[in-house]
Amino acid sequence: MADITAASKPPGRGFFRRKKTSDENNLAGYLFISPWLLGFLLLTVWPVTQSFYLSFTDYPLIADPTWIGGANYDRIFTSDKTFIQSLKVTFTFVLIVVPLKLAFSLIVAMLLNRQMKGMSIYRTAIYFPSLIGASVAVSVLWRNMFGVDGYINGVLQWFGIQGMGWISHPDTALGTLITLDTWQFGSTMVIFLAGLKQIPNEMYEAASVDGASKIRKFFSITLPMLSPVMFFNLVLEIIQSFQMFTAAFVITQGGPVDSTYMYAYFLYEKAFRHFQMGYASALAWILLVIVAILTAINFLASRYWVFYESGGKK
């Protein structure tokens, strides 16, 4: 009877107090995230939605958009030769700069992962170029360095070597942009350095006892343990490389002979020089699909080479 009576009693004040406190906590949580949520909806979701709609319109900016269906996409894939050229240049850039940047940043990270006097100064100095990023100022500096009368040709003249117009020749212009992007490896290097710090030193000591060489340690310990970090850097660098714009705009403006005509620069010209905002929106969505497909391929391939300490390869 006591149990039945207790079960039939209505909830006491403690129940309502707990429920009220829970509701207040939820409300406080929503209030705290509301600035970010509002910004995400207004600055990300809404522009992306508008861009998708505009990709099916003819929108010259000075007039209202006119619905034309898939005409923009049909024109891009069937009659726009500049689109093919920009894709070729961009894929060439990505295929060269991503492996170079990853390899160079990993080598530097391994050199900096040592105990020696003044190492913090060396790390700061090497990371410094990445602080200024791919800015207009850096691009202008690079243009002055690789110009006909630039610093690079001046140094070559000291050794009796005749310089050339590095950014004005189709065979070398893209190489200058690749060099610039590879030079700004600081952020990738810091991530690699953090990953190297997480590898237990006992593994190297055990390998030394077994007589493993430095090369064997690198391929049997360092690379497998660092593979998740390498995978993260790989995906990040691919995404960033496809968005290469500032250097191509400031240094070469797509030339000479469209040898540095990056996809992002092509998109910019269609939007803000030719005022074909609908066409540019279609180009932006094609770029999104390309990057998404490559990212998905990397995730699928990662299960064969990325090693996770908790459960092996995933």
pLDDT, the chain, mean: 87
The pLDDT score that the predictor gives to residue 2 is: 46
Fold of 71-313: MetI-like fold (1.10.3720)
The pLDDT score that the predictor gives to residue 259 is: 93
- Does residue 117 carry a pLDDT above 80? no
- Does residue 103 carry a pLDDT above 90? yes
Which residue carries 């000291």 as its tokens? 158
Q: Environment class of residue 93 by beta-carbon count within 10 Å: exposed (0-12), middle (13-18) or buried (19+)?
A: buried
The domain spans of the chain are: 2-44, 71-313
The pLDDT score that the predictor gives to residue 282 is: 96
The pLDDT score that the predictor gives to residue 137 is: 82
pLDDT in tens, 43-62: 999 999 999 999 999 999 88
pLDDT in tens, 231-260: 999 999 999 999 999 999 999 999 889 999
**What is the amino acid identity at position 215?**
I
Whole-prediction pTM: 0.85
**Long-range contacts, stretch 299-304, CB < 8 angstroms, 24+ apart:** 299/235, 302/231
The pLDDT score that the predictor gives to residue 1 is: 46
- Does residue 10 carry a pLDDT above 60? no
